[in-house]
Amino acid sequence: MVAPDLSGSGGTTDHGGPLTPADLAGEVLAAADDAGLDRFHLAGHSLGAAIATHLAAHHPERVDSLALHAGWVRTDTRLRAEFGHWLDLLGADARHGTAHFARMLPLAASGPVYGRARAPRRTRNWSRCWRRPWHPGPPGRPRWT
């Protein structure tokens, strides 16, 4: 299994400029190449699903199968507004040392069932996981396009 950290997440460096699905698909392909994989099965969640779809569409000779969860076909007005709100929260968190985005994400991503199914302690622990890897980069220079 190869599970790369994409630019600006995990242990990577954020180059400060915008990233496109093609850029990120290229990073996944480079990780597969580095692992010596000519063909592979590909899974993706959320942005990972969009990246996996892009990679499979542009390199079908490399992808044996896709497993996609919570992806989207296009960034419409509602999604653009949601992503913009996320960037605003990330920027405010970076400036003030808060974790509003980390606390909001489980609610936005999982909907009402999440709140009914999760105990408050587990919700706090889950949101702590999201505090570490997310950093918006320099103010006014969002990473997502």
Helices and strands (H and E) in the chain: how many: 6, 2
Domain shared by 13 and 65, yes or no: yes
Indicate yes or no: pTM above 0.85: no
Domain shared by 40 and 27, yes or no: yes
Strand partners of residue 70: none
Q: What is the tens place of the pLDDT at every residue in 39-73?
A: 999 999 988 999 999 999 999 999 999 999 988 88
Q: What is the tens place of the pLDDT at every residue in 5-36?
A: 888 777 787 777 888 889 999 999 999 999 99
Rounded distance between C-alpha atoms, residue 58 and residue 88, angstroms: 32
Domain range for 89? 77-131
Residue ending a domain, choose from 73, 96, 123: 73
- Where in 9-69 does DSSP place strands (E)? 40-45, 63-69
Do residues 104 and 88 make contact, with C-beta atoms less than 8 angstroms apart? no
